Structure 1
Amino acid sequence: MSARTRVNAPLVFRLHENAPDVVREVLLERGWEEFDPEEQEEGDWNLYWSSSAFRSSDYKTLSPWQRLNHHPRTARISRKDCLARNLRRMRGAYGPALYDFSPVSFILPNDYIRFLEEYTKNKGKCVYWICKPADLSRGRGIFIFKDIKRLTYDSIVIVQKYISDPFLISGYKFDLRVYVCVTSFSPLTIYMHQEGLVRFATEKYDLASPDNPFSHLTNTSINKFGLFYATGKERVGKGCKWSISKFRNFLHSQDVNQGLLWQKISNMVTLTLLTVAPSVPSSTNCVELFGVDILIDSNLKPWLLEVNYSPALSLDCPVDRMVKGLINDLIDLMNFRMRDRLRWKCCLHTSCLVPEKEQVLFIPKHQSCSGNLKKTPSNLFPNSKTKGASEAPCHYSRNELADPELCELVLCSNLKHKNPKCFSSKRFRLPSIYPPKSSQKPPGFLKDQTIHDMTVPCHRVGDFILTYPFNEVTQKASQDPLDVRTIMHELHKLTSRLTSAHGDAKKQRQRRYFSQE
C-alpha cells in the first residue's frame, strides 16, 4: 500500500477486556477499526484503552503515533488512602489555607490514635463521621456514624468528618461528577469538560437517619435500586441525574455567582493534580481522563470527595448520552490524524528513526523512506554535536531538503532539537498539536506555535476547556521542574480578583435595590 493511501487508512483502536462499551461504539462511529490480533501485528494500533493501569514496559515500547489512556503512576490519587496522604503532605508543605477543600481525614488503622484525639475533642458536639473503604468504589462499604462504638473495619479505611450541611435542591443531596483530562504532566496541561453529571440521592436529606443510604449517598449504583428512583421527585424529576448544563441553569435561577464557584472547582482540581504531578514520568503519548467527585455545602464551598482513575462511562439513562460527546471530544483532543501521518510517512524500519536527541524527520514528499540511507543527523543539522548517530531518513542534500515542495517537516515525540539556525525559515513552521475550532486566538497568553514554541496548548477542543495553564506565568512554572509555589501564588491571585469582583458586584446590586426602595 502506498504512503498516500496509508495516510487515509482507518485508525486502529485496541481495547482491554474491561474497557467501556461506549468507547468502542464511539470509535466505530468515527470510522476506526478494532485491532484484530490474528490479522494484525502486535503494535499495529493507534489507541490502546484500558480501565486498569498499564505495565511499565507498555510505555517503553510506544511509537510516536500511539496513545495510551493512562499516564504512569496517576493511580496514586485515585485510591482514597493515597489521596488523603498526598493532600496531608501538601497541606503540611504549603499550608492549610490552600488545601482546605478536603474534609479532615484519618487513615485507619495507622491514624487511629490521631482520630481518637479528634473524636474526643468533638465529643458532645453534633459531629458525624463517614467511613469509606480505601480500595472500593460505587459506594460499597460506606457508612455514617456519630458514636465511635459503631466504627468497625477489617481493612484499610478512611474516616472523615461528614459534611453535614450540604447544598440541597428541594431537600435532596447531590454531588458533581466533573470530567478532567490531563494531556501532559510535564508541562502540566489540564482541561475540564463543560458537561458532566449531577448525581442525586433519591430520598430527602435527613441527618436523623444516618443509616439510610438513599438519603446520604449519591452513587448511582446505589440509588438506582431505591424505591423512589423512577418516581418524579420535586424539581429533581425522575431518576437521579442531571447534566451540568441543567445545574448551571438552576444556579442562574438562584442568582449564584457561577464564575467564582467554577474557579474554586478548577483551583481544587489543579491543586489535587499538583500532589502527584512532580512524580509522574513525562510521556507525550498518554492522556488521562479523571472523574472528580465534588460536594458543595450550604455556603457554596466545594469539597473534594474523591478522584476516579477510570470513571464509569455507562449509558444507563438519557442524561448519560453526554458521555458520547465527552469521548468524541477526548479523541479530538488527542489529534490522532496528524500523529498517524508519522506511521506511514516514515517506514517502520529501525534505520529510519532519528535518535532521541534529534527528534525531527525530513521526509521526501514523493516517496517513502526506503533503501540505503546515507545522510546522518549531523549532515542534516550541521550545528548538532551528535556523533556516531544512526542514519537519517533521507538521502537528499541540504539544498534539496530546504525546498518546501520536496520535503515536509514531521514532528516526532519528545522534541529536543532547538537550534534556531536549522529552522530559520518560516516554511518549517509546524502545525498546531491542538488545532483550535476557529482562527480566533484565545485570550491571555496563547501565541502562534512554531518550532521554538511547542508547549502552548489550545484554549478549547470541543467542550474541553483549558483550565491550566491560564497565563504566561503558570505556563512557565509548569515546565520541568514544576514550580509549585509560583503556581499556587497565581491561583490565589486569580481567586482573589474574582472574589473582589463578586463583592463589588454584590454591593452594586444592594445599592440599586435600596435606591429603588
Structure 2
Amino acid sequence: MAEGEDTGTILKPLVFRTDETTPKVVQSVLLERGWNEFDRKEHNVEGWNLYWKTSSFRMIEHTNVKPWQRLNHHPGTTKLTRKDRLAKYLMYMKRVYGTSIYEFVPLTFIMPGDYNKFVAEYSKEKQMLGTKQSYWICKPAELSRGRGIIIFSDIKDLIFDDTDIVQKYICNPLLVGKYKCDLRVYVCVTGFKPLTIYIYQEGLVRFATEKFDLSNLQNNYAHLTNSSINTSGTSYEKIKEVIGHGCKWTLSRFFSYLRSFDVDHVLLWQKISHMVILTMLAFAPSVPCATNCFELFGFDILIDDNFKPWLLEVNYSPALSLGCKADVTVKRKVIHDIVELIHLNGPRNEGKEGGNAFPGLSNVSFAKSDKGRLSNVCSSLPYGSLLQFTSRAFKKDESTKGKAARICPKNTRTSQLREMISKQNLLLMAKEPPKVKSKLKSRHSPHKISLSYVSLFPSYTCKTSISSSFLSDNSKEPDPQAGNFVLIFPFNEATYGASRNGLNVKRIVQELQKQMNKQHSRVGGNKTKR
C-alpha cells in the first residue's frame, strides 16, 4: 500500500483462467496460493492474470494480451515438439555447426523422404557388423505416450505410415536393477527475444517395468519407459530390484543413486544443460515475437552406460497428471515455482469501488520465497561461470507497518474447489517405494570418477559480479533463480550480449564450445591424477 493511499484500498486475489484442457494440478496449486478462478459472471472480460491451457493460443490472443496478464505458451512452439520438425532443426544445426557439438542426437531419418538414405545406411552398417545385429526405432511424428512405436533389427519389420522418424536405437542404456530408464527434465523459457532459459533442478525418472532384453524387441514393457504404457503392465505393482514399487523416481533420488557409485552427476547435469540450450538455439530464431508469455517444456533424455545423455524428444505441455507420489512431489512444486518465476505471486491492488484497472507488476507484492531467488547461484550448477545477474530490489514500503491488508474472499465456488482438491491430493500421497540396496554389474556399471561432489538440489551462494557497463539503465535482466528453476541461458556476458538484439547463434555456439572444452579438460585432468 503506497504512502498516502486510502486505507480503504482492498487487496484482491489474482485471477487465473482455464479451459477444459487445463491440468487439475495447475488449478489446485493456484487455489492454494489464494488465487481465484475466472468467472465471466463475476469478473471483467479482461480481469484475469494468468491463462493456462494445454493447447496453443491464437496469434490474436498473443497480440491482445494486457500488461498484467500471462499466457503459458509462446506462439509457434508446437513445431519444436513434432518429432520430424525437431529432427529437421537439429539436422540443420549439425550441418552448420558440426556433428561434435550436436552429438546428443541419435542418427535420424525422416520417412518417407529419407527412406533411400536409410536403406543405404542400414546396408552399410549390416556389412560392417557382419553377424551382429543393428537396432533401430521408428516413431510416429505426431503421436505421444509411446503410441505406434516399433523397434526392429531386420528392415523387413519396418512399417511406417505418413510421417515417421527412424532413429538409431540406443541399445546400451544405463540400467538400474536391469531396468531401462529415461529422465523427464523440465525447462521453462520465459522469453525468446531475448532467449531466456531456466532448467528445473528436480524432475522425474521413468522406468520400464520389465528387464531390458534385446532378444525380444516387441516387449514394450522392457523397451519403452512411457508411464502410460508401464502402469498397465502386470509388473507395475510388483517390487522390482533396486527400483521398488511403480515406475517412477524423483530426479534427486536418481542422482543420489548415481553418487553412491561415485558417478560425476554434476558433469552429467552440465551436459544435459548444454543439450537444452543447443536444442532451443536450433528453434529460437523461428519463434514469432510475443510478450507476456512463458513455456514449460518436458525434455525426455536417455543416459547410456557411458553416461552420455541422448535427446529423445521435447514435449509441449508435458503431462501434469498426479499418478503417484513422485508426480505429486515434483509437479506441484513445478507449478508453485513457475508462479514465482513469472512474478505473479501476490494479491492485486484495487480501489474501494472495485474498478477494472489492473496495476503494473511492480505493484504486486512478492512472497518471502522470492527473496531466495535474489541470492547468487552456486558454481556447482550447470555452469561454473554462470552469470550472476543483478537482482531486482523489492522494497518494503514503511507505510504498511501496523496496517492490515484486507483480502476479499467472496468467491464461494473457489473456496469449495480448494477444499475438494486438497482432499484429492491427500489420497495421492502414496507410500514411499522401498529402498533396495543395489549393485551395478558388467558394462552397466558406472565408471568411478574421483571428483568432489555437491548436491544439485540445495541452495548455494557464490560471490560473482558483473560490470556496471554490462546492463543498460532500461535493461530487464533475468533472475538467476526462482525456487528450483535456475537460469542456464544466458550464462555469461558474451551470451547475454549475443541474445539481446537478435540472436547471434554463431557467437553463442562458440561460447558453449568453450564451456564444453573446459569440461573435457577438467575430466581429463582428474583421470590423469588418478
Per-residue Cα deviation, 1:341-370 (whole angstroms, up to 9, x for no partner): 699999768xx9xxxxxxxxxx9xxxxxxx
Measured in 2, the distance between the counterparts of 1:59 and 1:245 equals 36
- Corresponding residue number in structure 2 for 1:72: 75
Q: Is the 8 A contact 1:183 1:190 kept in 2?
A: yes
Measured in 2, the distance between the counterparts of 1:507 and 1:327 equals 44
Asked if 1:498 is matched to 2:519, the reply is yes
Q: Is the 8 A contact 1:65 1:339 kept in 2?
A: no
Q: What is the CA distance between 1:58 and its match in structure 2?
A: 0.5
Q: What is the CA distance between 1:48 and its match in structure 2?
A: 0.5
Per-residue Cα deviation, 1:374-409 (whole angstroms, up to 9, x for no partner): xxxxxxxxxxxxxxxxxxxxxxxxxxxxxxxxxxx9
Q: What is the CA distance between 1:148 and its match in structure 2?
A: 1.3
Q: Which amino acid is 2:505 matched to?
A: V
Measured in 1, the distance between the counterparts of 2:79 and 2:197 equals 17
Question: SS of 1:336's equivalent?
Answer: coil
Q: Is the 8 A contact 2:83 2:141 kept in 1?
A: yes
Q: What is the CA distance between 1:123 and its match in structure 2?
A: 2.1
Relative distance call for 1:17 and 1:343 in structure 2 (3 A) is farther
What are the ranges of 5 or more consecutive residues in structure 1 without an aligned counterpart?
353-362, 364-408, 413-430, 511-517
Per-residue Cα deviation, 1:202-232 (whole angstroms, up to 9, x for no partner): 0110001000000000000000111111111
- Corresponding residue number in structure 2 for 1:315: 322
Measured in 2, the distance between the counterparts of 1:195 and 1:9 equals 32
Q: What is the CA distance between 1:470 and its match in structure 2?
A: 1.1
What is the correspondence of 1:168-183 to structure 2 with a 5 Å cutoff?
A: 168-183=175-190
Structure 1 window deviating more from structure 2 (334-343 vs 270-279): it is 334-343
- Corresponding residue number in structure 1 for 2:429: none
Q: Is the 8 A contact 1:214 1:222 kept in 2?
A: yes
- Corresponding residue number in structure 1 for 2:476: 455
Count of aligned residue pairs for this structure pair: 433
Measured in 2, the distance between the counterparts of 1:109 and 1:290 equals 28
What is the correspondence of 1:205-284 to structure 2 with a 5 Å cutoff?
A: 205-284=212-291
Asked if 1:291 is matched to 2:226, the reply is no
Per-residue Cα deviation, 1:213-268 (whole angstroms, up to 9, x for no partner): 00000000000111111111111101000000101101111111122111110010
What fraction of aligned residue pairs are identical, expressed as a percent?
A: 49
Asked if 1:437 is matched to 2:389, the reply is no
Relative distance call for 1:190 and 1:175 in structure 2 (3 A) is same
Q: Which amino acid is 1:437 matched to?
A: G
Which one of 123, 138, 145 corresponds to residue 131 of structure 1? 138
TM-score, with structure 2 as normaliser: 0.77
Measured in 2, the distance between the counterparts of 1:178 and 1:204 equals 23
Q: CA RMSD in A?
A: 2.7
Relative distance call for 1:337 and 1:331 in structure 2 (3 A) is closer
Relative distance call for 1:103 and 1:9 in structure 2 (3 A) is same
Q: Is the 8 A contact 1:7 1:345 kept in 2?
A: no
Measured in 2, the distance between the counterparts of 1:127 and 1:201 equals 22
What are the ranges of 5 or more consecutive residues in structure 2 without an aligned counterpart?
378-385, 393-470
Q: Is the 8 A contact 1:436 1:458 kept in 2?
A: no
Per-residue Cα deviation, 1:159-216 (whole angstroms, up to 9, x for no partner): 1111111111121100000000001111111111111000000011000100000000
Q: Which amino acid is 1:215 matched to?
A: A
- Corresponding residue number in structure 1 for 2:157: 150
Measured in 1, the distance between the counterparts of 2:474 and 2:266 equals 31
Q: Is the 8 A contact 2:374 2:479 kept in 1?
A: no
Relative distance call for 1:441 and 1:122 in structure 2 (3 A) is closer
Q: Is the 8 A contact 2:8 2:351 kept in 1?
A: no
Q: Is the 8 A contact 2:51 2:71 kept in 1?
A: yes
- Corresponding residue number in structure 2 for 1:43: 46
User: Which structure ranks higher in relative contact order (CA pairs < 8 Å, sequence separation ≥ 6)?
Assistant: 2
Measured in 1, the distance between the counterparts of 2:59 and 2:373 equals 38
Q: Is the 8 A contact 1:65 1:340 kept in 2?
A: no
- Corresponding residue number in structure 2 for 1:488: 509
Q: Is the 8 A contact 2:138 2:165 kept in 1?
A: yes
Q: What is the CA distance between 1:276 and its match in structure 2?
A: 1.4
Q: What is the CA distance between 1:155 and its match in structure 2?
A: 2.1
Measured in 1, the distance between the counterparts of 2:475 and 2:6 equals 26
Which one of 85, 94, 97 corresponds to residue 94 of structure 1? 97
Per-residue Cα deviation, 1:18-37 (whole angstroms, up to 9, x for no partner): 11110011011111111112
Bigger Rg over Cα: 1
- Corresponding residue number in structure 2 for 1:446: 389
Q: Which amino acid is 2:523 matched to?
A: H
- Corresponding residue number in structure 2 for 1:393: none
Q: Is the 8 A contact 1:101 1:303 kept in 2?
A: yes
Measured in 2, the distance between the counterparts of 1:494 and 1:37 equals 51
Q: Is the 8 A contact 2:376 2:388 kept in 1?
A: no
Measured in 1, the distance between the counterparts of 2:98 and 2:216 equals 36
Asked if 1:9 is matched to 2:12, the reply is yes
Which one of 54, 57, 61 corresponds to residue 54 of structure 1? 57
TM-score, with structure 1 as normaliser: 0.79
